[in-house]
Structure 1
Amino acid sequence: MLIFLKFIAAIALLACIHLFAMAALGRWWGIAVRKVSLGFGPRLLSLGIFHLHAVPLGGSVQFKDTREEGVPLDKPPGYFDDAFNHKPRAVQVLIPLAGVAALIVVALVLRQGAAVPSLIHGFAQFLTGALDPLTTGRQLVGGARDFAGQHAFLPLLGMLAAKLAAMNLLPLPLLNGGQALLTLVTRDLRETPAWQRKLTAVFVWVWLVLIASWLSAILAYVEER
């Protein structure tokens, strides 16, 4: 139970770092932040733009974006100045990557020489574990559990920071890597093309399948124990 709580605490803390890095960079560039949500599921607490949900794993930052909010007919002067989708392309690429950069910094500080190999291996581990949950995935869950049992909280935090950074760099539209990639290939950043909406809808299901596969790996490991 203690190891489980260590994992939850570490992932929740890293999610906060990840989200606040993106929100802070957005504000620094003059973008209005509508909402910062930690976790998912039922909302437990709201403090201004900050929202805490029941399952503190992951989260999201919602910026002012006229593609989602629309444009009022009586828009005041400068209405677009603080909108995410009216910022330069470089800004729209760098903001989602800021969260990943913050995780990499945490990994480098806490794991030093092991951070980069852990990050590089994280890409393959996430995908191979999802494709073979009952064998590879179960073994990876067991390895993570053994690591947590043998190390204190800070080394665990560094290891998870590297793995979460790798996961978020995957080219899926719901993840930072995919968001940055879509920004690079989209012609008009002020509007969302139909193909992008369809692609995102498809990859929502891909993401759900990957998460379900990892949940089955965790359950297989728990049953084995």
Structure 2
Amino acid sequence: MLTFLKFIAAIALLVCIHLFAMAALGRWWGIAVRKVSLGFGPRLWSLGIFHLHALPLGGSVQFKDTRQEGVPFDKPPGYFDDAFDHKPRAVQVLIPLAGVAALVVVALLLRQGAAVPSLVHGFAQFLEGALDPLSTGRQLVEGADAFAERHVFLPLLGMLAAKMAAVNLLPLPALNGGHALLMLVTRDLRAPPAAWHHKLAVAGVLIWVVMIASWLSAILAYVEGR
């Protein structure tokens, strides 16, 4: 139980760092932040733009975006100045990557020489575990559990930061890497999303849900086999 709580606490802390890095960079570039949500599921607590949900295993940052909010008929002067979709392409690419950069910094500070190998291996480990949850995935969960039992909180935090950075760079629309890639290939960033955007987003969410379900089965297989 203690190891499980260490994992939950580390992931929740890293998600906070990840989200606040994106929100902070957006504000630094003059973009209005509408909502910062930690977790998913039922909302437990709110304070202004900050919202805490029941499952602290992810989150999102919502910026002002006129493609989603629309444009009021009597828009005031400078209405578009703080909108995400009216910022340069480079800004729209770099903001989602700021969360990944923050995780990499945490990994480098806490794991030092092991951070880069852990990050590089994180891509293959996540995909291999999702494709083979009952064997490879179970072995990876066992290794992570053993690591948490051998080390105190900070090394675990550094290891998970590297793995979460790697996962968030995957080219899925729901993740930072996919979002940044979409900003690079979209021709007109101010136009409403094209139909293929929606289809790609739906496909990406389905792939992500399947991968997470696969990892959950790996975790359950490990717990049942202990």
One-letter amino acid matched to 2:218: A
Shift of 1:73: 1.4
Would you identify which runs of 4 or more consecutive aligned residues in structure 1 move more than 4 Å?
Answer: none
Residue aligning to 1:24:
24
Shift of 1:194: 1.6
What CA distance in whole angstroms lies between the structure 2 residues aligned with 1:199 and 1:220? 32
What CA distance in whole angstroms lies between the structure 1 residues aligned with 2:202 and 2:3? 35
Residue aligning to 1:207:
208
Residue aligning to 2:83:
83
Aligned residues: 225
One-letter amino acid matched to 2:225: E
What CA distance in whole angstroms lies between the structure 1 residues aligned with 2:203 and 2:67? 20
Q: For the aligned residues, what is the CA RMSD?
A: 0.5
**TM score, norm. by length of structure 2:** 0.99
What CA distance in whole angstroms lies between the structure 2 residues aligned with 1:77 and 1:126? 47
What CA distance in whole angstroms lies between the structure 2 residues aligned with 1:98 and 1:116? 17
Residue aligning to 2:195:
194
What CA distance in whole angstroms lies between the structure 1 residues aligned with 2:187 and 2:92? 13
Map 1:131-150 to 2 at 5 A: 131-150=131-150
Residue aligning to 1:44:
44
Map 1:4-19 to 2 at 5 A: 4-19=4-19
Alignment deviations for residues 34-76 of structure 1 (CA, whole Å, 9 cap, x no partner): 0000001110000000000011111000000111111111111
One-letter amino acid matched to 2:103: L
What CA distance in whole angstroms lies between the structure 1 residues aligned with 2:46 and 2:146? 36
What CA distance in whole angstroms lies between the structure 2 residues aligned with 1:182 and 1:193? 12
Structure 1 unaligned regions, length at least 5? none
What CA distance in whole angstroms lies between the structure 2 residues aligned with 1:67 and 1:224? 49
Alignment deviations for residues 128-184 of structure 1 (CA, whole Å, 9 cap, x no partner): 000000000000000000000000000000000000000000000000000000000
Map 1:66-81 to 2 at 5 A: 66-81=66-81
Shift of 1:107: 0.1
* Mean Cα deviation higher: 177-186 or 189-198: 189-198
Shift of 1:188: 0.3
What CA distance in whole angstroms lies between the structure 2 residues aligned with 1:165 and 1:86? 27
SS of residue paired to 2:38:
strand
What CA distance in whole angstroms lies between the structure 2 residues aligned with 1:72 and 1:210? 40
Residue aligning to 1:170:
170
One-letter amino acid matched to 1:113: G
Residue aligning to 2:220:
219
SS of residue paired to 1:75:
coil
SS of residue paired to 2:9:
helix
What CA distance in whole angstroms lies between the structure 2 residues aligned with 1:203 and 1:15? 20
**TM score, norm. by length of structure 1:** 0.99
Residue aligning to 2:181:
181
1:2 has 2:7 as partner: no
Structure 2 unaligned regions, length at least 5? none
What CA distance in whole angstroms lies between the structure 2 residues aligned with 1:174 and 1:85? 17
SS of residue paired to 1:82:
coil
